[in-house]
Each structure stands twice: as structure tokens, then as C-alpha cells.
């Protein structure tokens, strides 16, 4: 069993200290759009993405304490100020801490694929999850999903056209294996080096769909 790591970082927020929902503009000190990464891992993706988009405020969450700690260390070393890291479960965090209609983008990279058939109902990304998430997205918001697990990638690519309010940014392709400009985490790079494919899915929330 891993010991709990105390995280001391200007980029780390403790849930118990936050309002529900928080005033994100006050937390970041500006009114820039907010984006959410679900499952930040060790923080390599969110670091590069935050550098690319200095006028976006990024919220990065992970269920694992060690991942949050590694992400904060990485951000701190690079002097990043437009990311805040929190430890929480995705649905609960969104419900309690994100104002409806406020997210400009959501990124979900290589979530647990729950490969056994009997466990697949535990997968985070499903049509029900996207219907839930839709309420928290701003018009025109981006939804990005990436996975190294073939079955998961094909499943998400096939149900997304049935979720109302979203427009496929890759049309006519349901998914792509290459996404120029989209940073690949070290986890993705490991699988690519093994000759495996990454499935990328990219949708936008159509204006007036809420």
C-alpha cells in the first residue's frame, strides 16, 4: 500500500478548502476560459498543453495522490501558473465544482479501459457520461478522448454520433490514429513505440445544443 504524499504546491488545491462551486476566476486571477483534464497522470500532457495555451485556465484532476504530486512537481519546475491540480473522482468533481455551461474543453487521455467484458460498465467514457458532461460544456466546447485500447476507442467512436448536441471534428472519420498538434503523454509514446495505435476522438458541442 502506497503512503499518502502531502502536496505543497501553489498549483495544488485541497477540495475541503473550495466552495461548491468555486469562483474559478478568483482562483486563477483572471476571466480566461476554463478547461478540464480528467486523469492527469504524471502531468506531462497538461504541462505541454498549458504552455501552448497561456490564455486558458486548466483544471487537472486525478484520483491518485501520487499522480497529483508528480503533476504538481512538473508544473512547479516549469513555473506554470495557469493550471490547478486536484484529487477527486471525475463525476463527483464536475457535479460539485464545475458551474454548468462553463468548460471550454475536456481532455480524457488513456483512462482505465476495464478490459474484461464484465467490467466494461465501469468505464468512465460512455454515452451516459457524455450526456451528463454536456450540461457543463460551453457552446463550441471541445471534447477530446484518446485511448491505446482498441475496443474502447472503437466503442467511443461508434456511440458518439448518437449523443445529441455534439459535432464530429474529424468527420467523416469516426476516429484517427494521428492528431497533429495534440500532445502525446509518455504513456501514449510507450505504446506507439511498441507499434500499437492510439485512437483519437474529437467532438465539439454545437452552439444552441444545451
Would you state the pLDDT for residue 120? 78
Cross-strand partners of 83: 58
Assign 119 a pLDDT band (cuts: 50, 70, 90): low
As to burial, measured by CB atoms within 10 angstroms (0-12 exposed, 13-18 middle, 19+ buried), residue 105 is buried
b (16+ CB within 10 A) / e for 171-182: eeebbbeebeeb
Query: Is 6 inside a domain boundary?
Result: no
Would you state the pLDDT for residue 117? 75
The stretch 126-148 carries a mean pLDDT of 97
Of all residues in the chain, the percent with pLDDT exceeding 90 is 81
Active site residues: 112
What backbone phi and psi angles, to 5 degrees, belong to 31? -105, 25
Give per-residue pLDDT as tens, 84-104. 999 999 999 999 999 999 999
Model pTM score = 0.94
How many domains are there within the chain?
1
Residue by residue, DSSP assigns 133-179 as HHTTEEEEEEEEEEES-HHHHHHHHHHGGGSTTEEETTTT-S-BS--
Residue 170's CB: how many other CB atoms inside 10 A? 15
As to burial, measured by CB atoms within 10 angstroms (0-12 exposed, 13-18 middle, 19+ buried), residue 104 is buried
- Edge-to-edge strand list for the sheet holding 199-205: 83-87, 57-62, 34-38, 103-109, 137-147, 199-205, 166-168
Would you state the pLDDT for residue 118? 73
Query: Is 104 inside a domain boundary?
Result: yes
CATH of the domain at 87: 3.40.50.150
In the chain, % helix, strand, coil (3-state, to 5) comes to 35, 20, 45
Instruction: Indicate whether 153 pLDDT > 70.
Output: yes
Give per-residue pLDDT as tens, 27-40. 999 999 999 999 99
Give per-residue pLDDT as tens, 159-184. 999 999 999 999 999 999 999 999 99
Query: Is 65 inside a domain boundary?
Result: yes
The stretch 54-58 carries a mean pLDDT of 98
Query: Is 25 inside a domain boundary?
Result: yes
Query: Is 20 inside a domain boundary?
Result: yes
Cα distance between residue 156 and residue 201, in whole Å? 8
Residue by residue, DSSP assigns 18-50 as S-SS--HHHHHTS---EEEEE--TTSHHHHHHH
Query: Is 187 inside a domain boundary?
Result: yes
Query: Is 1 inside a domain boundary?
Result: no
Would you state the pLDDT for residue 139? 94
For residue 184, what are the domain limits?
A: 15-205
Query: Is 37 inside a domain boundary?
Result: yes
Give ∠ CA 10-11-16 in degrees, rounded to 5. 90
Largest CA distance in the chain: 48
Cα distance between residue 105 and residue 203, in whole Å? 10
Amino acid at each position: 500500500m502506497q503512503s499518502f504524499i502531502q502536496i505543497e504546491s501553489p498549483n495544488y488545491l485541497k477540495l475541503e478548502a473550495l466552495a461548491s462551486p468555486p469562483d474559478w476566476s478568483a482562483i486563477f486571477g483572471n476571466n480566461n476560459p476554463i478547461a478540464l483534464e480528467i486523469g492527469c497522470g504524471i502531468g506531462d500532457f497538461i504541462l505541454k498543453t498549458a504552455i501552448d495555451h497561456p490564455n486558458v485556465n486548466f483544471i487537472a484532476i486525478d484520483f491518485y495522490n501520487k499522480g497529483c504530486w508528480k503533476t504538481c512537481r512538473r508544473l512547479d519546475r516549469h513555473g506554470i501558473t495557469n493550471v490547478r491540480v486536484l484529487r477527486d473522482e471525475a463525476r463527483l468533481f464536475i457535479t460539485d465544482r464545475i458551474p454548468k455551461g462553463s468548460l471550454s474543453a475536456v481532455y480524457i487521455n488513456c483512462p482505465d479501459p476495464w478490459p474484461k467484458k464484465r467490467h466494461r460498465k465501469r468505464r468512465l467514457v460512455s454515452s451516459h457520461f457524455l450526456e451528463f458532461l454536456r450540461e457543463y460544456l460551453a457552446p463550441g466546447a471541445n471534447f477530446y478522448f484518446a485511448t491505446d485500447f482498441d475496443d474502447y476507442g472503437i466503442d467511443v467512436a461508434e456511440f458518439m454520433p448518437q449523443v445529441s448536441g455534439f459535432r464530429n471534428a474529424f468527420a467523416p472519420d469516426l476516429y484517427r490514429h494521428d492528431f497533429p498538434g495534440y500532445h502525446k503523454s509518455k504513456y501514449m509514446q510507450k505504446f506507439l513505440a511498441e507499434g500499437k495505435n492510439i485512437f483519437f476522438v474529437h467532438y465539439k458541442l454545437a452552439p444552441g445544443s444545451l
